[in-house]
Structure 1
Amino acid sequence: MKSVAWYKKQLKHKPVQITRYVVQAMFLLFLLYVGFQFYQFYQHFETLGKTPFVERPSAVEGFLPISALVALKVWLTSGEFDAIHPAGLVLLAFFIGAGFLLRKSFCSWICPVGTAGEMIGWLGRKIFKKNFELPRWLVWLLTPIKYVLLLFFVAMVIQMDIFSAKNFLVDPYNKVSDVKMLLLFLNIGGFTLKFVIVIFILSLFFRNFWCRFLCPYGALIGLGSIFRITKIQRNEDTCTSCEMCTKVCPQRLQVHKIEKVNSLNCSACMSCVEACPVKDTLNMTVANKKVNKWFVPVTFFVLFFVIIGIAKMTGHWDTIISYKEWKELIPDARYIGH
């Protein structure tokens, strides 16, 4: 059991990381609440009104990346904003846009899968006393997988003509895609369950295995880093090569060996900056100008809540699907698309 003094010391020397862990926990709890609320919403229609009606939480649309990707295509090509799952489009568009300036902040601060990955990695360290490292040649082989998956989904959406894309958005299958995802988790088994178990085990041994090698969503957001507007810079003159920065990096980047962290995997978590024992040896920079270590997370969350607020005020957050239509769709959701 660690003492109060230990926690005070951590808060003093690593305020961003302590804040990040708290924010991750809060968002994880919030999303669990959203999931439970959505389950109650579903149950009302599944039981034909025998359970109380609960408002559908629009935030659940954040778990519909394919629908949001098609909606993004329609919006960019025709100017029509998706009214079926508008919150999903708002969130995807924001996360992609934020990636240009703020790198993969979404992944390190609020993504529930990223949070779970870090928790499993922590559990692995408790069990095995460390996280293991993959051989460099294997890292090179595994890294392209998430980009191949991303290319598959993006190509699938791009090849759709605008008429087909619009029809997809109003199709009953897309309308109940959130319900179908819920049913997938409620009835998890077979290949899906085996896949989750395998990823869990791999993540125990190899920290953030899913995020580093398999997540196409994170790969998409990370593409904005190609422009290198925001990056960590290392002062080679003052660096002592203690490797603390590399040891704490959730993405296992070799920070102590490079002058500028330009990797698309960097999630701007600021772990390396706070772990560095030498002042001003590692700094976050924007357009090659040093910024405060709080700049990225604060900017991300200010924009995040402003965008959501604007979406709600302008009617681009809640679905237009009516109670009556949900009543017709949800009881048959498991059969739609089969």
Structure 2
Amino acid sequence: MRFKIWLLRRAFQLISFFIFNALIFNKAIFYWNIKPSTLHLPVLVSINSPISAFYGVYDVIQVTASEGFFPLLSIAVILILGALIGRALCSWACPIGFIQEAILEIKGKITQVSFKTHRQALKLKFIILALTILISTTVGLSVHFNIWNSYREALGDFAKGPFFLFSPDGILFGSLPRLILLAITNKELEFINSFSLYLIAFKMFILGLFFVAIYKIPLFWCRYVCPIGALMGIFGKFSFLGLNRSLTKCEKCPECVKACPMQIKILDYPWGKFNHQECILCFRCVDACKNKALTPKFP
């Protein structure tokens, strides 16, 4: 019987999910003494989460840039991992990717988006990437040179991390755990004023939209919204890890295309090794191919 990569990937996703959120074991279950790591990776793990043992590199970039420093280490992480494995962590380690795939398994089928709509929507995450980097950089310049103070004040919570308020990782692993932990410990929710209530309601609305979107469209967040996915995809197009399509084994049946949650037209790409900036290297296509025409390839 042929080994299915998805079994290994599911195990890796599940382990990663608990490792990234390991501080929950300090607070509500075993009262361990796990310390947060300084290592940050290109996955969506909120820097504001009370249960995160690791931080997402994009959160670190926003905070570092907004404080007037150049995020050299974060950029090095992206360059190295992007060159080696492209967007593989999106489908193998990212908690938000794991949640989206769990929803996809519940739904049981991959919904196709019209090619025109799909192609246009792919631009959205690059726009989000550019805007958030622009805001963080200009805030950083404001801090460093002590200028544009009114601009920084007008941004308010957006100044430290413009993407924090909209990212589901910040809500799922930041806002919600904090409220739950306060409720468990019976502490007064003194920080909640009228503004905070509106902010919490806004975040819950965003979270609701997120779940509706990922149910309607497979991996909606990874496809169209995630800025770290956009950033890693730039390097993923040239990464060492890719896919190999065999000329002698491929019958050009559409099973690999049907299995792809990122809606990549695999059969349009040349024989041999190829990369695609939207490919998250989940290898669903490899598992779907009965003729073993598709295989992972490194380098």
When the two structures are superposed, what TM-score results if normalisation uses the length of structure 2?
0.67
Greater share of residues in helix: 1
SS at match of 1:134: coil
**Aligned mate of 1:184, from 175, 199, 204:** 175
Matched, 1:13 2:26: no
Q: Are the counterparts in 1 of residues 214 and 220 from structure 2 also a CA contact under 8 Å?
A: yes
2:291 aligns with 278
Q: Are the counterparts in 2 of residues 118 and 250 from structure 1 also a CA contact under 8 Å?
A: no
Q: CA RMSD in A?
A: 3.6
Distance 2:269 2:219 in 1: 21
1:199 aligns with 210
Matched, 1:118 2:101: yes
Which residues of 2 match residues 1-338 of structure 1 at below 5 A?
Answer: 9=1, 12-14=2-4, 16-35=5-24, 37=26, 54=33, 56-58=35-37, 60-63=53-56, 65-71=58-64, 74=69, 93-125=76-108, 130-159=109-138, 164=143, 184-185=175-176, 186-187=178-179, 189-227=200-238, 229-259=240-270, 261-279=274-292, 281-286=293-298
Distance 1:265 1:118 in 2: 16
SS at match of 1:227: coil
Distance 1:268 1:156 in 2: 31
Number of aligned residue pairs: 241
Task: Pick closer, same or farther for the CA change 1:215–1:35 going to 2, 3 Å.
Answer: farther
Residue by residue over 1:189-216, the C-alpha shift from the partner in whole angstroms, topping out at 9 and shown as x without a partner, is: 4222122122212222321111111111
Q: Are the counterparts in 2 of residues 103 and 221 from structure 1 also a CA contact under 8 Å?
A: yes
SS at match of 1:74: coil
Structure with the greater alpha carbon radius of gyration = 1
- The structural deviation recorded for 1:157 is 3.6
Distance 1:166 1:283 in 2: 52
Distance 1:151 1:194 in 2: 24
Residue by residue over 1:61-93, the C-alpha shift from the partner in whole angstroms, topping out at 9 and shown as x without a partner, is: 51473333453783567xxxxxxxxxxx56x74
Q: Are the counterparts in 1 of residues 243 and 294 from structure 2 also a CA contact under 8 Å?
A: yes
- The structural deviation recorded for 1:60 is 3.6
Distance 2:35 2:136 in 1: 27
Q: Are the counterparts in 2 of residues 27 and 112 from structure 1 also a CA contact under 8 Å?
A: yes
Residue by residue over 1:202-233, the C-alpha shift from the partner in whole angstroms, topping out at 9 and shown as x without a partner, is: 22232111111111122112221243544323
Task: Pick closer, same or farther for the CA change 1:93–1:112 going to 2, 3 Å.
Answer: farther
- The structural deviation recorded for 1:246 is 1.7
- Give the letter aligned to residue 13 of structure 1: F
Residue by residue over 1:10-63, the C-alpha shift from the partner in whole angstroms, topping out at 9 and shown as x without a partner, is: xx431x3211111111111333433453x56xxxxxxxxxxx895542354514
Q: Are the counterparts in 1 of residues 252 and 267 from structure 2 also a CA contact under 8 Å?
A: yes
Task: Pick closer, same or farther for the CA change 1:249–1:261 going to 2, 3 Å.
Answer: farther
- Give the letter aligned to residue 278 of structure 2: N
Task: Pick closer, same or farther for the CA change 1:144–1:56 going to 2, 3 Å.
Answer: same
Distance 1:282 1:251 in 2: 16
Residue by residue over 1:241-279, the C-alpha shift from the partner in whole angstroms, topping out at 9 and shown as x without a partner, is: 222222222322121332264321112222222332224
Distance 2:255 2:145 in 1: 50
Q: Are the counterparts in 2 of residues 245 and 255 from structure 1 also a CA contact under 8 Å?
A: yes
Distance 1:202 1:149 in 2: 17
- Give the letter aligned to residue 184 of structure 1: S
- Give the letter aligned to residue 286 of structure 2: V
- The structural deviation recorded for 1:145 is 0.7
Task: Pick closer, same or farther for the CA change 1:25–1:66 going to 2, 3 Å.
Answer: closer
Moved over 6 A (4+): none
Q: Are the counterparts in 2 of residues 124 and 205 from structure 1 also a CA contact under 8 Å?
A: no
